[in-house]
Structure 1
């Protein structure tokens, strides 16, 4: 006798189309997670840079109270291994923050040194018998503008300005003393060694972070410490 063939349950597998859909879903989920983590990292770096800039300002105030003047910038092009790197180099007005003189970190979160301008009037050694290099009526020479081509000012008559060159690093100085290439016109304004600087919210062509010493606060700190008048 011959029987009917053994019946087996129907087996279903994934079709190529179904596998493709699953892979696409996983790819979208993964890219979303990466984008979220990248955004969180960016915000964390920006917060760290903001805190570093505020710490640098406090260090400048402290130095002025102790010495009666602001520190001069350090030479930007020296490699970190050189003895003079990070030490103030008078009478420079433009350079990088003298991190060794001030006891601060050398690099921002993106691996660049902080650029630093100090008006020579405020960084010169006080005259014999004077308690400060400057007076209450002395104006600084730096001005902050809203863009490189604008005459509108954000702040004027500033004695000192500090710049972090942001995530793109354009025109910032690295540990080996090398300056990073690139830079939009607004970023170039913060690195061309004049007394005009730019500060505005970040956009596709600009991500510098700029801080400055307000003359009124510097004067108040110096008065409270007995350095002025």
Structure 2
């Protein structure tokens, strides 16, 4: 039986339509596979970006602390870590506290790290005392800080006699103070060292059990900046 030209064109159109659907399905499957394979890569890049932002935030805070000392002759005390960001006193330096969180309000900085936690801050009382009348600084050239940094809990000493130190508790947030929730507990021994109120801290490369970022003020740099500003000796 001979098909009419119209029937032939209809069948050809149906075949073409059918092939298009199959091809579209294959394309969609390929895209889904590619998207799935790229998700871990995208997650890794996002984590690297967050780590970079946290490191930059800490460096900015260090410079702000140096600048505060140059202007006022002393370092600011830590802020009360238990206050939520909605509290008027949150982020304000609260002397004579030595342990707490970065006084972000006093310094005009962001309140939280990239993971939504406060940045922990230790400041030795020898360096947070306001200058007496007629003096340029509240500390002297021979003043020493009490903070120390080690390569691990019980490891080698990396730095000592530090006047102040900052800790961003990383993605896992172990031992971090949070603005609207209780402090997060747990963590590795090294992370616990960075969370307890002691003068010993730990700093090393990230591992699956440790992702803290630690930065500190150099006593030499601090004193040199005050010398250049005419506040010391």
TM-score bracket, normalised by the shorter chain, equals 0.7 to 0.9
1:164 is aligned to 2:168:
yes
Q: How does 1:199-210 map to 2 (within 5 A)?
A: 199-210=203-214
- Aligned equivalent of 2:74: 69
Per-residue deviation at 1:33? 1.0
Counterpart contact for 1:80–1:177, Cα < 8 Å? no
Per-residue deviation at 1:24? 8.2
Query: For 2:136 and 2:184, how far apart are their aligned partners in 1?
Result: 40
Query: For 2:61 and 2:181, how far apart are their aligned partners in 1?
Result: 20
Per-residue deviation at 1:183? 1.3
Structure 2 gap segments, 5+ residues each:
2-10, 19-25
1:114 is aligned to 2:114:
no
Counterpart contact for 1:74–1:87, Cα < 8 Å? yes
Structure 1 gap segments, 5+ residues each:
14-20
Counterpart contact for 1:76–1:177, Cα < 8 Å? no
Q: TM-score, normalised by structure 2?
A: 0.86
Q: TM-score, normalised by structure 1?
A: 0.87
The secondary structure found in structure 2 opposite 1:42 is: helix
The secondary structure found in structure 1 opposite 2:191 is: helix
- Aligned equivalent of 1:44: 49
Q: How does 1:1-229 map to 2 (within 5 A)?
A: 28-150=33-155, 152-176=156-180, 178-229=182-233
Q: 1:133 to 1:93 in 2, by over 3 A?
A: same
CA-based RMSD: 2.2
Query: For 1:153 and 1:24, how far apart are their aligned partners in 2?
Result: 55
Query: For 1:224 and 1:31, how far apart are their aligned partners in 2?
Result: 56
The secondary structure found in structure 1 opposite 2:100 is: strand
Query: For 1:143 and 1:31, how far apart are their aligned partners in 2?
Result: 45
Query: For 2:29 and 2:163, how far apart are their aligned partners in 1?
Result: 56
Counterpart contact for 1:124–1:133, Cα < 8 Å? yes
Counting helix residues as a fraction of each chain, which structure ranks higher?
2
Per-residue deviation at 1:220? 1.1
Query: For 1:206 and 1:125, how far apart are their aligned partners in 2?
Result: 36
Q: 1:22 to 1:182 in 2, by over 3 A?
A: farther
- Aligned equivalent of 1:17: none
Counterpart contact for 1:78–1:177, Cα < 8 Å? no
163-172 vs 178-187, which deviates more?
Answer: 178-187
